[in-house]
Each structure stands twice: as structure tokens, then as C-alpha cells.
């Protein structure tokens, strides 16, 4: 820095950063989550509102505490690609994008990164079985998701599925059923694997070995996802009792995965009631207007 042109202050004071005295880093414990108000099977409170984007055919805004995103649906409209022949099925295009300020690490605002492209494809696969694309030949439906704040990768994807389904219904597009999304994470509770093997070898076969427990946390946030051994995201149509998409990562035994799927299906039924209420409220507002 050129001090002749840009003189600095004569005196400077270091900033004071105060941390709470009782600040402790959260670690996974049985029946205790990062949010002490929630039990392992509880979801975060959901706020869902339609009609946020006036220029779109249908729109929805969803908020789960620190997870906030907006969805806009445009179409159906004719395909404008030159050289594309007649298609008896409509096309569902999904665009998933994080805002620049949505995550702790600043995101690129110009183009999609590989994670956003993957989430766009997953979102399209989760919604396509519920939309009557056979009734929209040579047409395209564009779904745009913008994440304003992200608090958990799984919950963000599940919220995008829920908001996109409500936005499609708000746009008047014929669907077989609404698609509700839910996520679940499973993590080890109790002693770690290394400590378990150490205690077992030191006991020299005396006593029963300590076996770690696996706890399922529904709708995990970012802090809880740091300790997860695996997670699933389920897209489910409650009225038809059909799963449109299931995404699983990490390692887990079959019974744990089956239990996670059952918990997600029960949670989707609760989310389904919120989706119905939001659509009914939008119909009442349109009638009053």
C-alpha cells in the first residue's frame, strides 16, 4: 500500500470478539440434537406460501428455520429448439441454483457448478413421475429453484422437491399427486469404533463388547450432517402411496435404511398436510381478489 497516497490511521485497536462462556461444540448424543427443542423424529417448523413471483405461472416459497428457498414455474410453453421433431411427451426442465450468499462458502453466481447440476437432475427425476407430461405434447415446463439460505444438504433438496411440487400445482399443471420431500440422517451414538475395539482388546474377552448404536435424525441441519454416516432423501406421493425417487449415500445396514424410509414416509404425510393447506389458502385469496 502506498502510504503517501493512502495514509493509514495513526492508532488502531484490535476488534473485540466475545464468545459465550458456556460455548461447547455439539456432539451426537442419544435423544439429544443440535436443536434441543427437537426430538430425533421431529421436523423443523415449515412455512409454505404460494404466489411469491407474480411473473411466473406458479410459484412457492418455503422456509424451514435457516433453510429458505423460492421456486418459480414457467409454462407449459412450446418448445423453441430448432430442429427438434414432434414429441408426444412434454419436457420437464429443472434448474437448481444456490444464491451467492446461501452457503458458508461463497457460491458462483454466473454458472452452475457440478453439485447444482446433479441436484437439478435429481429434482427432475423426483417430479417427473407425478406430472402428466403425456397431456402436454411438444411443450416444455421450466422449474427454477433459488436457494436463499441453506442449512443442510438433505433438507435443502427435500424442501426444493416440496416447493416445486406446490408451485406446479399452483401453475394449474395436471398432476397425479403432490410430491412431498423429506430427509433423514443416521449417525453413530455412543463410543467411537476405535474406542470400542480398544476396550474390547483390553478386556481380553472378559465381558460383553461395547456395540455402538445408530440413531436416525430427521431433517438434519448442517451441524448434524458433519457427524452423519449416511443419509437418505425421499420423494413420496402420499395419496397414491408411491415413492418417486430415493437417494441414499453413505454406509448403513438394511434394517437401518428400511427404518429411515418408514420414518420419511410418515414425515411426508405431515408435510403433505402443509402443502394442501398452502394451496387452499391460495385458492381463497384468488377468490377474494
Residue 118: C-alpha distances to residues 26, 113, 124, 145 (Å): 30, 9, 10, 13
Strand partners, 180: 236
Which of 31, 32, 76, 27 is closest to 56 using CA atoms? 76
The tally of domains found in the chain comes to 1
Q: Identify the pLDDT of residue 201.
A: 43
* Cβ density class 190-208: b for 16+ within 10 Å, e for less: eeeeeebeeebeeeeeeee
| Complete DSSP assignment for 125-152 | HHHGGGB-GGGSTTEEEEEEEEEEE-S-
Q: Identify the pLDDT of residue 47.
A: 96
Residue 131: C-alpha distances to residues 88, 166, 193 (Å): 14, 12, 46
Distance from CA of residue 215 to its chain's centroid? 20
Copy the grid coordinates of residue 214.
445408530
Whether residue 282 is contained in a domain is answered as: yes
Whether residue 13 is contained in a domain is answered as: no
- Integer Cα distance of 250 and 218 in angstroms: 16
Radius of gyration of the chain (CA): 24
- Integer Cα distance of 19 and 171 in angstroms: 48
The pLDDT profile of the chain, 289 residues, written as one tens digit per residue, is: 555 666 666 676 766 666 555 545 667 665 677 777 888 889 999 999 999 999 999 999 999 989 999 999 998 998 876 555 667 889 999 999 999 998 888 887 778 889 999 999 999 999 999 999 999 998 999 999 999 999 989 999 999 999 999 999 999 999 999 999 999 998 887 654 444 444 444 444 444 544 568 888 999 988 888 888 899 999 999 999 999 999 999 888 888 999 999 999 999 999 999 999 999 999 998 888 6
Q: Identify the pLDDT of residue 163.
A: 97
Q: Identify the pLDDT of residue 71.
A: 97
Three-state secondary structure call for residue 5: coil
Whether residue 31 is contained in a domain is answered as: no
Residue 126: C-alpha distances to residues 179, 249, 288 (Å): 8, 17, 34
By residue range, what is the domain housing residue 152? Answer: 47-288
Whether residue 258 is contained in a domain is answered as: yes
- Give the relative orientation of helices 153-170 and 254-288 as an angle to the nearest 10 degrees: 40
Whether residue 3 is contained in a domain is answered as: no
Q: Identify the pLDDT of residue 29.
A: 66
Whether residue 158 is contained in a domain is answered as: yes
CB 221 within 8 Å of CB 66: yes
Q: Identify the pLDDT of residue 75.
A: 86
Which pairs from 189-197 meet CB under 8 Å and 24+ separation? Answer: 189/28, 189/29, 189/30, 189/213, 189/214, 189/215, 190/30
Whether residue 232 is contained in a domain is answered as: yes
Which of 169, 191, 193, 192 is closest to 180 using CA atoms? 169
Q: Identify the pLDDT of residue 57.
A: 95
Strand partners, 195: none
Whether residue 216 is contained in a domain is answered as: yes
* Cβ density class 18-51: b for 16+ within 10 Å, e for less: eeeeeeeeeebeeeebbeeebebeebbebebbbb
- Integer Cα distance of 161 and 41 in angstroms: 20
Percentage helix, strand, coil, to 5, in the chain?
30, 25, 40
Q: Identify the pLDDT of residue 109.
A: 77
State the pTM of this model: 0.83
Indicate which CATH number applies to the domain containing 169: 3.30.230.70
Please name the residues in contact with 162: beta carbons below 8 A apart, sequence gap of 6 or more: 48, 62, 179, 180, 181, 271, 275
Amino acid at each position: 500500500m502506498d502510504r503517501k497516497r493512502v495514509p493509514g490511521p495513526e492508532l488502531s485497536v484490535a476488534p473485540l470478539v466475545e464468545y459465550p462462556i458456556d460455548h461447547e461444540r455439539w456432539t451426537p448424543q442419544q435423544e439429544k440434537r443440535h436443536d434441543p427443542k427437537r426430538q430425533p423424529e421431529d421436523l423443523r417448523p415449515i412455512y409454505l406460501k404460494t404466489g411469491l413471483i407474480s411473473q411466473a405461472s406458479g410459484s412457492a416459497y418455503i422456509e424451514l428455520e435457516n433453510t429458505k428457498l423460492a421456486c418459480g414455474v414457467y409454462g407449459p410453453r412450446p418448445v423453441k429448439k430448432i430442429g427438434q421433431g414432434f414429441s408426444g411427451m412434454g419436457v420437464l426442465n429443472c434448474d437448481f441454483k444456490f444464491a451467492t450468499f446461501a452457503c458458508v462458502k461463497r457460491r458462483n453466481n454466473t454458472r452452475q457448478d457440478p453439485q447444482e447440476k446433479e441436484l437439478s437432475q435429481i429434482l427432475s427425476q423426483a417430479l417427473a413421475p407425478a406430472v402428466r407430461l403425456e397431456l402436454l405434447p411438444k411443450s416444455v415446463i421450466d422449474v427454477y429453484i433459488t436457494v436463499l439460505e441453506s442449512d443442510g444438504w438433505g433438507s435443502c433438496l427435500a424442501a426444493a422437491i416440496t416447493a416445486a411440487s406446490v408451485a406446479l400445482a399452483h401453475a394449474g399443471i395436471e398432476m397425479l399427486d403432490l410430491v412431498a420431500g423429506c430427509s433423514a440422517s443416521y449417525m453413530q451414538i455412543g463410543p467411537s469404533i476405535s474406542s470400542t475395539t480398544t476396550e474390547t482388546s483390553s478386556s481380553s474377552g472378559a465381558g460383553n463388547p461395547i456395540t455402538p448404536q445408530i440413531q436416525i435424525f430427521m431433517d438434519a441441519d448442517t451441524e448434524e450432517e458433519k457427524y452423519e454416516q449416511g443419509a437418505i432423501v425421499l420423494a413420496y406421493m402420499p395419496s397414491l402411496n408411491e415413492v418417486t425417487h430415493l437417494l441414499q449415500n453413505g454406509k448403513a445396514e438394511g434394517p437401518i435404511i428400511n427404518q429411515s424410509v418408514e420414518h420419511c414416509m410418515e414425515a411426508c404425510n405431515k408435510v403433505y398436510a402443509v402443502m394442501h393447506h398452502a394451496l387452499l389458502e391460495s385458492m381463497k385469496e384468488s377468490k377474494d381478489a
